[in-house]
Amino acid sequence: MSAAFSQRDLRDAFGLFATGVTVVTAVRPGGTPVGVTANSFTSVSLEPPLFLWCLAASSSAAPAFAHGAPFAVHILAHHQLDLALNFARRTHEKFEIERHWRNKPHPPHLEDALCRFDSRVHAVHAGGDHLIVVGEVLAIAAAHGTPLAFHAGRFGNFSADRGIPKVDIWEGLEDHWY
């Protein structure tokens, strides 16, 4: 079936959804550490504690995400653009993941992230040319700071609009808006 839009149009349209930026780390069978920049991270469930992210099925990191395998998701702080760019390179061009790998044989921990989720693979679903990796949160290491944001192919800042009250999406929203 031919679509009424090109792949470029679709990419650009998806990119209009502003997100944070994560680096996901894991260890491939055989012991090679992997790290991938990903903005497809989203929360799924509180009980059990689940999230998902999507990984290109063609990625050399894919074998690291078998059922039950441990991995770590790092929500990047604004000052971590260099990590975002490094882990968006092709595998053979990434550098220095070994430098971060002080916690061998576990998935590498990157320092100074806004939050790290130590996780294990709960399920992997096929999603077209990507794998939908559902992760179970085992531990959280959270810090205060400014997130790295991504929108329309550009990295930047999130700054709260002070005129709008803070929203707790787990509580009723009605109190805030009506």
Positions that interact with ligand FMN (CB under 6 A): 21, 36-40, 53-56, 59-61, 87-88, 90-91, 150
Q: Which CB sits closer to ligand FMN, 8 or 162?
A: 8
Whose Cβ is closer to ligand FMN: residue 61's or residue 114's? 61
Indicate the burial class of 147 (C-beta count within 10 angstroms; 0-12, 13-18, 19 or more): middle
CB of 113 to ligand FMN, least distance (A): 15
Nearer to ligand FMN, 39 or 119 (CB): 39
- Six-digit token string for 54: 């999507």
Q: What are phi and psi of 7, to 5 degrees?
A: -60, -35
Contacts of 14 (CB under 8 A, 6+ apart): none
User: What sign for the dihedral angle of Cα 39, 67, 63, 99?
Assistant: positive
User: Nearest distance from residue 176's CB to ligand FMN, in Å?
Assistant: 30
| Nearest partner of 149 among 50, 88, 78, judged by Cα | 78
| Nearest approach, Cβ of residue 124 and ligand FMN (Å) | 13
In terms of CB distance, is 40 or 120 closer to ligand FMN?
Answer: 40
Give min distance, CB of 91 to ligand FMN, in A. 4
Q: For residue 50, what are the β-bridge partners?
A: 45, 136
Asked if residue 62 lies in contact with residue 71, where contact means CB atoms within 8 angstroms, the answer is: no
Closest distance between ligand FMN and the C-beta of residue 55, in Å?
Answer: 4
Nearer to ligand FMN, 21 or 27 (CB): 21
